[in-house]
Structure 1
Amino acid sequence: MLAAGGTLTTLLAARQGMAAAGGLSPAAPKPVPPLSFTDADGKPYDLGAFPGRMLLVNLWATWCAPCVKEMPALDRAQQALGDENWAVLPLSSDRGGAAQVTPFFERTGLKHLKIWLDPRGAAARAVGARGLPTTLVIDRQGQEVARLEGDAEWDSPAMLGQLQALARG
């Protein structure tokens, strides 16, 4: 969705500038396949559980060194973006599920993220992730508007600015 007065050319130029700056790789909005996952208690969820919110879906695992490195920054990003109607969804592909992820969250001191589990890695396959970590930005209409493969400093002012720009559309 374009902001009032915006043009597709302006939006694409802004997105190309973000990619050139070494951040997210914005793209024309595209549908996200159905993704299902559970919370730490095993309750099933899908992206429809977050209506009207911008989503930062991070595909990760505790055995993935770059994933582990970026988790504190994702936690701080959730804190920074929480008042702006964002949800950061770190979908763990750890086969051990909550028994493996919960101690990691405790050891790492993650306070603002919730535990989300995808122990079979179905979400990564569904979105065509080439490796971990892979992060998707999904807009309020459920469209993927950006992707980043690899770790990032999600709480840096530059990255938060890119995310806020994507939210403005």
Structure 2
Amino acid sequence: MINRSHHGSEIPDFVLKDAAGREVSLAGLKGKPLLINLWATWCAPCVEELPALNRLAAKRAGTLKVLTVSQDMGQADKVAAFLKDRAPLLEPWLDPENALTDHYDTTILPTTIYYDAQGREVWRYVGPRKWDNDLAAQMLAEAK
């Protein structure tokens, strides 16, 4: 179900890291729509939707940034290997302190948050979904 109650909220200024120590600033990703997916290796519905997210990332590479953020705590290397096998286009970003989970008040994984190119929230979606079908395309068309 789509939640639009935070529509227009500014993207948080969090910095994420991967197992290699690379960093990405969420606020620095403005410029094209951003789909942030909070997931975990132990979450069966999360794992099930990874291939569709990977296909979406491939199909919309120039017009949409798909950012998967693992909620696995203390298992950075495991997350990287897990994604490499299942969704090689998705980068293994980590949220080891669950700061994003707290910020978004997330209680269910997967949770996906969609931002427009200006870094304003469009909607949130709780639960798994097929991110590479026509309905998802209609949802993603809401961002300018």
TM-score normalised by length of structure 2: 0.89
Is the CA contact 2:4–2:124 (under 8 Å) kept in the aligned structure 1?
A: yes
Is the CA contact 2:83–2:91 (under 8 Å) kept in the aligned structure 1?
A: no
Measure how far apart 1:62 and its partner are. 0.2
> Which amino acid in structure 1 is aligned with residue 71 of structure 2?
S
In structure 2, stretches of 5+ residues that fail to align are none
Match runs of 1:94-109 below 5 Å: 94-108=72-86
Distance 2:110 2:81 in 1: 20
Q: Which has the larger radius of gyration?
A: 1
Query: Are 1:65 and 2:65 an aligned pair?
Result: no
Query: Are 1:43 and 2:28 an aligned pair?
Result: no
Is the CA contact 1:25–1:146 (under 8 Å) kept in the aligned structure 2?
A: yes
Q: Deviations over 1:123-155 (max 9, x none)?
A: 111121122111000111211111000011001
Is the CA contact 1:66–1:133 (under 8 Å) kept in the aligned structure 2?
A: yes
Measure how far apart 1:158 and its partner are. 1.7
Match runs of 1:11-160 below 5 Å: 24-27=2-5, 28-84=7-63, 86-108=64-86, 110-160=87-137
Percent of aligned positions with the same letter in both sequences?
38
Q: Cα RMSD (Å) of the superposition?
A: 1.7
Measure how far apart 1:36 and its partner are. 2.2
2:142 alignment counterpart: 166
Is the CA contact 1:33–1:127 (under 8 Å) kept in the aligned structure 2?
A: no
1:12 alignment counterpart: none
Is the CA contact 1:92–1:101 (under 8 Å) kept in the aligned structure 2?
A: yes
Measure how far apart 1:49 and its partner are. 2.8
